[in-house]
Amino acid sequence: ELALREAQGFPPYARIARIVARSRDRDLCVGAMRELARKGRGVLPGEIELLGPAECALGMIAGSQRWQLLLRAPSLAALHAAVRALLAGYKAPSAVRLEVDVDPVQLL
């Protein structure tokens, strides 16, 4: 498992933050994630990899649509700085809730 994680750049060999948007309105949810990804491509340094947006593996829970972005960084400090830069000044629509999970245990 460790060799596979190292080859794919997953913890403990890199750090990951998962940003999940939840909303009962699919279009708002997808739009919020696309806007956040577009912002990220403009403000994140080259050492930070932005993956997504993509629908979560469990795309709907309790009537809410779920979409995600993943940020991969070489260090925890770089990851925290990237998340701060990405979310600085960003205001999701009121019907969209954002959740941030650093080094998530699972991606479901």
22 closest CA partner among 74, 59, 50: 59
Please report, for residues 29, 41, 46, the alpha-carbon distance to residue 24 in angstroms, rounded to integers and kept in the order given. 8, 26, 34
Model confidence, pTM? 0.89
**Residue 12: pLDDT band with limits 50, 70, 90:** confident
Average pLDDT over residues 4-28: 92
Tell me what pLDDT residue 104 has: 85
Tokens 């956040």 belong to residue: 36
Residue 10 has pLDDT above 90, yes or no: no
The H or E element containing residue 57 is strand 49-61
Please report, for residues 27, 68, 91, the alpha-carbon distance to residue 3 in angstroms, rounded to integers and kept in the order given. 39, 26, 39
Average pLDDT over residues 7-26: 92
Name which residue leads in pLDDT, 55 or 108: 55
The residues, ordered by sequence, that sit 6+ positions from 57 with a Cβ below 8 Å of its Cβ are 107, 108
> In this predicted model, what pLDDT tens digit does every residue of 55-99 receive, in sequence order?
999 999 999 999 999 999 999 999 999 999 999 989 999 999 999
Mean pLDDT of the chain: 92
Tell me what pLDDT residue 9 has: 83
